[in-house]
Amino acid sequence: MKPVLGLALLLSGLAASPAGAEPWQLARSDVQTVVAADGHRYRVLVAWPDGEPPSAGWPVLWVLDGEDHFATAALTARRLARAGARSGVEPGVVVGIDSGPLGRRVLDYTPAADRYAIPAGAPAHGLAIGGGDAFLDLIETRLRPLLARRLRIDPRRQALLGHSFGGLLGLHALFTGRSFSTVVAVSPSLWFGEGLLADEERRAPPSTARLLIASGTDEAGPDGPSGVAAEALASRLRARGMHARYLPLAGQSHGTTMSAAMAPAIAISFAQAGAAQ
């Protein structure tokens, strides 16, 4: 019984914070609360580089589901920037947005779709949809000006990174001409809206924005293997002269693709001038 007792004592010691211990924190970062027009409260997490910004300002990466991915994105960006020419990545500002409960996330990340409801058996069935444009307005008209008052940022280099419904929102932003120079759509929910994205793609104006679309090789959505449709989308956009690339994530499933795509997402968002992406 002694080994069991020893383990119990060890675990009890770990459960209590040692005297004088401090929680882990990310240097040069903070959290603010922004209240939307409808009263919903968003946590906005910001991490900025050390030193002076370039004359044009820092590039910015807006990370959806920030409560899950902000720290990973910020640390990955800093590590790659330290590598300099070896990584082709320069320093940038990372902003994570926490929409809060699942219902609000689904509302914020889905475009309006007339007479459409998420079907039974599909993710988020029964939840309200269609708030994507209001959420994008919040980023462009509220959060970006707030950030610009605090940090010198480059308005021409604004990237958006989202996963699943967040990837869907990124593609919607791209096709509707929102002011993002780069969109990274990881495992986007292309099935949403019964052809909504395909219609937006056909109507999309010419764009100089860069797109990275990624999905796992072990991933499938309600309409079949995710990579097939994602790769075909990238191919069609390249044929129209857009900078679009498909990234297959070997061995990854829907729940792991965001972590696997983080370094490529940082690389395209904070690419040094002339770096191959």
CA distance 277 to 270: 10
Instruction: Give catalytic residues, as residue numbers.
Output: 164, 219, 254
For the chain, the C-alpha Rg in angstroms (whole number) is 20
In the structure encoding, which two tokens stand for residue 25, read together?
């924190």
Q: What residues contact 232, with CB distance under 8 A and at least 6 apart?
A: none
Angle in degrees, CA 165, 168, 170, rounded to 5: 115
